[in-house]
């Protein structure tokens, strides 16, 4: 008994320290609530406690990629909704190279948190290349924590979870460490490993990773300040027609050195020196066939099985630029129709902006939402949010 007492005491002290640390971190994350609303980065997006804090009534998650960082203009959600000082907020989740497969995992992991069980996915034509996701780009945006929660979501069929795990594993060949972790979760959660040592080790590792995610968020957020600005916004009072008119004024002032309606800085930095080489260079490109279509269907399957109602936003290409680049118009139309057909077959809402290829200032460059585009998207998302 005397020998066991020190071990018991040590175990109790260790457990108390661990519990105290988690309680402290949980409280710290809760205290950051307002600050986190428009902080779209991995430390927030991969911390379940942070998402639980901000996905409250009056919000809707908006999954996407690099367009979520296109912060120009008065209609960019962070600006339009005064940094969160609003009765409605779009919780943006994603950055460049974050595509349908990533968001299928995110939606499955977060489904229980989603207010009114609604979510938005902004799809970009540039996702739908012949290669789509690659083993060099996918691991850099992979979240082990969200993947683990996705696998443990009992609302999802084992078949769907297994298919997602296999697809993810096929893209992990260049990251053997993450592949090993993925296979470990697959074995324990889906294959129901009964090895008690493995189960105990996984439980300890899960706790460590959850704690690490909260600690990382709190550490990075030490110098963050709340983005709340101006008077509180009432979304129902927004005048989207007036915002579109103002967006045109800003766009006109921003696109003055080219005929493609590309903003001056982007055109100067990435286009002007190679302009002649770009002419006709896209003639052999196509978005008509891509593994990304299957990944998009996976996202919609996840939504269907978890009861999440998605809105898919279809963003157009810059028609003037794609004509110059030589990308066939019929292939662009085939892509847009593929998105329509998939959304129709799953019976989900679609905000189809494919008719805006030649609308000035819908995009700000050759692919990212611009001043006017954000007005259209904000309006579509808000109207979707208001639907019963």
Q: Give the pLDDT of residue 192.
A: 63
Please tell me the predicted confidence (pLDDT) of residue 15.
43
pLDDT tens figures, 49-65: 999 999 999 999 999 99
User: Span 189-203, mean pLDDT?
Assistant: 68
Please determine, for residue 327, whether its predicted confidence score (pLDDT) is greater than 80.
Answer: yes
DSSP per-residue letters across 263-288? -HHHIIIIIGGGHHHHTTTTTT---S
State residue 9's pLDDT score: 44
Report the C-alpha gap between 385 and 120 in whole angstroms. Answer: 10
Of 76-85, 122-131, 183-192, 300-309, least confident by mean pLDDT is 183-192
Three-state secondary structure string covering 361-388: CCECCCCCECHHHHHHHHHHHHHHHHCC
Strand 59-63's sheet: what is its strand order?
A: 89-93, 59-63, 118-123, 309-314, 349-352
3 state DSSP class of 23: helix
What is the DSSP track for 40-51?
A: -SHHHHT-HHHH
pLDDT at 358 exceeding the cut of 50: yes
Residues 11-20, mean pLDDT to the nearest whole number: 45
Q: How far apart are CA 284 and CA 50, in angstroms?
A: 44
Look up the pTM and report it.
0.90
Share of the chain above pLDDT 70, in %: 89
Residue range 121-146: mean pLDDT, rounded: 92
Beta strand 349-352 pairing with 89-93: unpaired
CB 169 within 8 A of CB 105: no
Mean pLDDT of the chain: 89
> Which pLDDT band, with edges at 50, 70 and 90, does 194 fall under?
low
Share of the chain above pLDDT 90, in %: 69
All residues at 6 or more sequence positions from 283 whose CB lies less than 8 Å from its CB, including other chains: 326, 327, 328
Q: Tokens 């898919």, residue? A: 312
pLDDT at residue 12 tops 80: no
For residue 30, pLDDT beyond 80: no
pLDDT per position as a tens digit, 173-183: 888 888 888 88
At residue 198, does pLDDT exceed 80? no
What does the pLDDT read at residue 154?
92
């Amino acid at each position: 008994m005397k020998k066991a007492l020190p071990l018991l005491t040590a175990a109790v002290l260790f457990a108390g320290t661990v519990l105290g640390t988690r309680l402290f971190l949980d409280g710290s994350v809760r205290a950051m609530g307002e600050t986190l609303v428009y902080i779209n980065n991995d430390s927030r997006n991969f911390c379940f406690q942070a998402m639980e804090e901000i996905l409250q009534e009056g919000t809707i998650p908006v999954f996407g990629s690099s367009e979520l960082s296109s912060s120009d203009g008065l209609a960019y959600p962070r600006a339009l909704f005064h940094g969160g000082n609003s009765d409605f907020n779009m919780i943006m989740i994603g950055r460049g190279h974050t595509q349908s497969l990533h968001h299928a995992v995110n939606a499955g992991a977060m489904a229980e948190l989603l207010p009114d069980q609604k979510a938005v996915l902004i799809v970009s034509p540039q996702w739908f290349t012949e290669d789509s996701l690659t083993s060099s780009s996918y691991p850099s945006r992979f979240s082990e924590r969200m993947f683990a929660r996705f696998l443990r979501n009992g609302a999802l069929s084992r078949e769907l979870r297994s298919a997602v795990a296999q697809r993810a594993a096929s893209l992990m060949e260049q990251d053997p460490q993450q592949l090993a972790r993925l296979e470990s979760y697959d074995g324990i959660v889906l294959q129901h490993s009964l090895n008690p040592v493995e189960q105990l080790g996984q439980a300890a590792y899960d706790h460590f990773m959850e704690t690490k995610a909260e600690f990382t968020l709190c550490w990075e957020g030490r110098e963050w300040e709340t983005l709340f600005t101006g008077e509180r916004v009432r979304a129902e009072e927004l005048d989207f027609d007036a915002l579109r008119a103002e967006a045109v004024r800003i766009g006109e002032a921003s696109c003055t050195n080219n005929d493609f309606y590309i903003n001056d800085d982007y055109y100067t930095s990435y286009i002007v020196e190679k302009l002649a080489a770009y002419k006709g260079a896209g003639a052999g490109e196509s978005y008509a066939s891509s593994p990304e279509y299957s990944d998009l269907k996976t996202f919609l399957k996840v939504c269907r099985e978890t009861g999440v109602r998605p809105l898919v936003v279809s963003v157009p290409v810059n028609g003037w630029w794609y004509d110059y680049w030589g990308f066939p118009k019929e292939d662009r139309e085939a892509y847009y129709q593929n998105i329509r057909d998939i959304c129709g077959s799953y019976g989900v809402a679609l905000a189809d902006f494919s008719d805006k290829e030649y609308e000035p200032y819908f995009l700000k460059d050759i692919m990212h939402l611009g001043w006017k585009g954000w007005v259209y998207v904000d309006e579509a998302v808000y109207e979707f949010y208001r639907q019963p």
